Amino acid sequence: MRLTFSPDLQQTTKARVVPVPGHILDQASSIHTLLFKATFDSPQSYLRARSDRFRVELWTNLPVHGHAGRSGEWRAVQFMEPEQVQSTSTSASTQSSFSLLADTDGKREENTLYLKLSASLQDHIDARFSYTFRLVHASGHVEWLGRHNNNGTIVVEQGVPGVTLSKEWAARKDGAFGLEVPSMKKPMVYLDKPEQWSGWVWKPSASLPIQFAGTSPCEGKAMVLLPRLSANLGDSLNPLVLVAGESSSLCLSADGKIAVDSTGFAKRATLAVLGHAQDLLTESAALCHGVVLSFDSTAAVVATQQSGAAAPYHVVVLPVFHAWDMQTVSLRKLQLPMASTSEGQGLVLFSPKLRKAKLLNAPLPNDDFLRFGPSGGELLISPVSVVCGNDRTWQITLLTPSKQFTVRTEKTSVPQILPTPPPSPPAREPTFSPLSVGSEVPGTAQPTIPTTRDDSARPVQSPAPSSDNGDHSAHRRRRSLSMMLVRSFPARLVRAYLHAIFNMVFWFWSVFAKAVAVRLIGEGIPQAVTRFLGIALAKTAARSSGTRGGSSAPTNGVEPPDATVGASQRESTRASSAAGGSDSNRGGNETIALATPDGVGAQAHLESDVPVVAPSPLPSSSGLKEHDRSLLAVARAVVSAALPHERSSPPTMLICGPGLIKGLCGTLDGESLPPPSITLLDDGVNLVEFTGLDGEGELTVCFEL
């Protein structure tokens, strides 16, 4: 088993102590923090150390805060396992919180123990202290990990941890470092390791503060520097605030150098630990017309409105001291002067980085907390508008800066009706089976049925059953008759019956089953089923065809009789009349015996020259669907907002309601916009984004209630 320490033995570490202002009475604000870690060479070694219950300790003569004893006395401080950030889903106390923690926040290295040492170093400037490491077994045996005169060293000096100041900077009595030099000099602030810093910059030309990384060039009037989680081990880093004076500005280069520039005769600036400089933070926020909502020993909350916009508020949460673990701040400290909170409609919290939202009803509860990590966080706070319609309640908020924001409802005068049921199957038309030609009906003449190829009558005689075959022959005869009946059944009637069946299935699917399927499995499979039913309806729909003589056949969903067969039948009728048969005096109507499968004749009348009149046409299933859906839209919500010219993001809204958003559309100054993207967030909140939209104008968004 092997342990690696940082800072290690035979290493000198500088502890830069910031002056404490005289008005700070809290002793915790004067405590200096040093960070150590011990890493095992393998997971097996780490597990063995836990099972054997031996301790890893720092042996030092540092003045540890909270330990009684004389100055310079050696004492042991134990390394501990890192405190993991608890998940909001497993802790009951965090169920009503809104977390700004990123995936990297709260994570520590594996197989590693940490030591967060608090020392009182204000009275030990220029002093030197030593340390070493040891292992204490469960039996009490002590194993020293360093040799004699092989200790590590801590040198205490005045300064700012993680930052090197040029000689022009001077410590002041208020605990800050001030700069006031002629403009020809080039004072600097050097970040020792720029990759360990991030922050926010304020400048008068921007309407909102801008976030930056320590290696990203930027410039402005004021900066807040925040240490990342992977801060430098040894001397603990604290959040800093840097503000340029009148006619001066700050410029950060990619290599971590912050220069103070000036357009006047002098360069002025002030640098301080954020926890000791509330006035500097207030001055920085005022550059973008922002305010400090809250400032305590845990966090500072800064809210800013974009110039010319009424909502939303852009809120930045800053840890005022080094945040080694997760921190919390009460949501009641986020109270903003918004009209909706006084009207009792609540607020919405939205994190642009994490794309998560939380709706809060007014008044804000006392037990709700905002959680953040070492790098703080940002969020948008906007009032919520509530609309009701069709026994449904919707909550709507606009996340894009707007001059004014209104929500109203519009009710249509069209009454709500039930969907139209599918049409009944078409009536079966008279058919002529070859099997019926050989049978006779008393009192009627048996005509000859012409074929489609010629006009000659070719009666078909049914074969007589053989008495030798008995029941087997009768069974074969019935099966032969059934197959011939199916084969002789007109294809147009089969297609009509299939169309009616698919129409009923499509009606049941559109009215009842589709909405349930969308809620359970999403929209992909239900859309495929709808397309399949639509194709089936189209394939089984009646085909339109022209008749002879230039007249067109009816296109009413039932296919007209075959033209060739009808012509042959009319010719046969005329031939019978010319022969002087008994059937020639029937006023043009011919009675024909039709055979059914059971051998019973049926009567049917066929006009000699007039085709069969089919039922009136019915609207298609797709037409019914679109018609009925318009009738169901009895009310809709209309959102109106005046967008300013300067916007950092496309128009974005949050809509929360009891179901899916239907009929969503938008216009800008009366011109239609492309369909927006809708993303379902937690708690049933929908994020609606109109991408690719720039410029100012009147935005109008509508959807069905």
Tokens read off for 212:
């930056």
Instruction: Please tell me the predicted confidence (pLDDT) of residue 275.
Output: 87
Burial class, 355, CB count within 10 angstroms (exposed 0-12 / middle 13-18 / buried 19+): exposed
pLDDT along the chain (705 residues), means of 10: 89 88 63 89 90 92 83 88 47 59 67 89 90 92 87 92 91 88 87 90 86 90 85 76 92 93 90 91 90 89 83 90 76 66 70 88 73 86 86 88 87 56 59 44 44 42 46 55 60 82 87 83 84 84 50 39 41 42 39 36 38 43 43 73 77 89 88 89 88 80 88
Q: Which of 643-646's residues contact partners 24+ apart within 8 Å by CB, and which partners?
A: 643/400, 643/401, 643/402, 643/403, 643/668, 643/695, 643/696, 643/697, 643/698, 643/699, 644/306, 644/307, 644/308, 644/309, 644/401, 644/402, 644/403, 644/696, 645/695, 645/696, 646/207, 646/306, 646/307, 646/308
Instruction: Give a three-class secondary structure readout of 191-257.
Output: ECCHHHEEEEEECCCCCCCEEEECCCCEEECEEEEEECCCCCCEECCCCEEEEECCCEEEEECCCCE
Name the 3-class secondary structure at 617.
Answer: coil
Rounded to an integer, what is the distance from CA 158 to the centroid of its chain? Answer: 49
Nearest to 144 by CA among 134, 154, 153: 134
Give the phi and the psi of residue 475 in degrees, each rounded to 5. Answer: -65, -40
For position 411, what pLDDT does the model report?
A: 74
The whole-angstrom separation of Cα 430 and Cα 493 is 11
Q: Beta strands of 3-124 (E only): which ranges?
A: 3-6, 12-17, 32-40, 55-60, 75-78, 98-99, 112-119
Q: What are the beta bridge partners of residue 141?
A: none
Strand 347-351 to 356-360 pairing = antiparallel
Strand (E) or helix (H) holding 378: strand 377-383
- CA–CA dist 502, 74 (Å, integer): 90
- Residue 128 token pair: 């030197």
CA 638 – CA 636 distance, rounded (Å): 7
- Measured CA to CA in angstroms, residue 265 lies from 22, 188, 643 at distances of 32, 17, 42
Place of tokens 């200096």: 32
CATH 2.60.40 at 384-412+633-704, yes or no: yes
Query: Residue 26 is encoded by which pair of tokens?
Result: 């809290």
Q: State the pairing for strand pair 290-295/177-182.
A: unpaired
How high is the pLDDT of residue 28? 61
Q: What is the CA radius of gyration of the chain?
A: 44
Distance between terminal CA atoms of the chain? Answer: 67
Distance CA 116, CA 20 (A): 21
- Report the pLDDT value the prediction gives residue 331, as an integer from 0 to 100: 80
To which residue do tokens 């950030």 refer?
A: 85
pLDDT of residue 78: 93
- Residue spans of the domains in the chain: they are 3-158, 163-379, 384-412+633-704, 420-460+488-572+586-625
Backbone angles phi, psi at 605, to 5 degrees: -105, 135
Quote the CA–CA distance of 381 and 378 in Å, as a whole number. Answer: 10
Q: Confirm if 334 and 315 have CB atoms less than 8 A apart.
A: yes
- CATH number of the domain at 3-158, please? 2.60.40
Return the closest-CA partner of residue 74 out of 88, 87, 89, 58.
58
